[in-house]
Amino acid sequence: MYSDNELVVIHGLGIGQRDLVKMLMPMALVFALMAGLLSTLLTPWAVAQGKILLAEQASKANLGVFSAGRFRENKNKDGIVFVQTKQDDGTIQGVFSVSRPSSKSQTETNGKEEQFGSGNNRSRLLKIQTAKKGRHWEDSETGVSYLVLEEGQFSEYNLEKDSWQLTEFGSSYTRIIQDDIIDVKSNTKSTSTIDLINNLGEKEWAAIHWRLMVPISIPLICLLAIPLSRTQPRKGKFSRLLPSILIYLIYVLVMMYSRKLIESGKIPGALGFWWIHAAMAIFIYWIYRPINKRPVNGAQI
C-alpha cells in the first residue's frame, strides 16, 4: 500500500501510524487469542492423541503382517509371511508363511505362546505353512484374536533328524498375540499446560514459555510491521522486506536459543522469554518515537 501511494494519501488525510495501530490491533488480538488456544490447549492434546493412536497401532502390529502382495516379517523377526490378496472385509487368500529354524534350545523356548509364523516354540525346525484362504476371528467372550486358515498344508523339517512331517488341514486356528499394555512415551510436547504448571521444572518452564511465545509475539510483530513497511518514494517495493525478515529471525532465534538455556538451567524459568519480549517492546517504542525535523534558522518546525 505504501508502494502504490495508498497509505501516502491516507497519511495526507491526517491518519497516522497510531490510527493504523488502533485499526489493526483488534484483528491482531483475535489472532493472538486463537493462536494461544492452539498452542496451550489443542496442540498438546493433539500430540498426545497421536501418540496414543500410534501406540495402539504398534500393539496390534501382528494384524498388520497380512498385507496383500508383500513379504512381511512376523513380530519375532524369525519368519516371513506373504498374502496374495486381501479383501475389504479382511478375508485373505493365497497365504504362505515360513519360519527359519531357531537356534535356541527347547528349554529356552518353553512357556512361550505360539503365534502365526513363529518358530520359537520348537528347536531346529523349519516350518512352512500354506492355505487357500483365511480370515481374522475374535472370540466375543474372551476378546482373543485368532487367524483362521482354511484348506491348507503345514510342513515341518527337522534339521537334526533330516525328516519332513506333512499335515493337511481343513481349518486351523492360530492365536494372534497382541500387547495388552500400551506404552505411551510422554514428553513436554504432549503434556497439557495445566500439568506443566503443576510440575514445574526446567523443561516444563521452557515448554510453557514456548507456548506463550506465539500469542505474545503476534501483537508485537503486528506493531513492528507498521513502521517497517513504510517505504520512501522512488524506492523498491521490497526495500524494507530484508531488514524486516532479519529482525524477525533474530527475535525467533534468540527465543530458540533461550529455550535451550532454560532447559539447562542457565536462565531462571520464571524469567523465561519475558526479557526478550520486553526488549522487542522497547525496540518498537523506539521506532514509533516522534522524529523532530532538522532545525531551520535556529527553530524547529
- Indicate the domain borders of the chain: 6-52+186-288, 66-175
Cell numbers at residue 108, please? 529356552
**How much is the pLDDT for 120?**
44
Quick one: pLDDT at residue 275?
93
Task: Read off the amino acid at residue 51.
Answer: K
Q: What is the pLDDT of residues 121-135, one digit of tens each?
A: 445 778 888 888 887
Mean per-residue pLDDT for 202-230? 88
Average pLDDT, the chain: 77
Residue 35's pLDDT band (boundaries 50, 70, 90)?
Answer: very high
Average pLDDT over residues 271-282: 92
Report pLDDT digits (tens) over 10-28. 777 777 777 788 888 899 9
Alpha-helical runs (H) found in 182-297: 193-198, 202-228, 241-263, 274-288
Distance between CA 159 and CA 104 in Å, rounded? Answer: 13
Single pTM value for the model: 0.56
Segment 113-117 mean pLDDT: 45
Q: Are 31 and 46 in contact (CB under 8 A)?
A: no
Other Cβ atoms less than 10 A from the Cβ of 138: the count is 11
Residue 281 pLDDT? 92
**Which residue has better confidence, 290 or 161?**
161
Question: Taking phi first (over 0 means left), then psi (-120 to 50 degrees means alpha), and beta for anything else, what does residue 72 get?
Answer: beta
Q: What is the pLDDT of residues 139-191, one digit of tens each?
A: 777 767 777 888 888 888 887 788 888 888 888 877 766 555 555 566 788 88
CA distance 226 to 221: 9
What pLDDT was estimated at residue 233? 64
Q: What does the pLDDT average to over 283-290?
A: 83
d(CA 261, CA 243): 27
Confidence grade of residue 236 (pLDDT, cut at 50, 70, 90): low
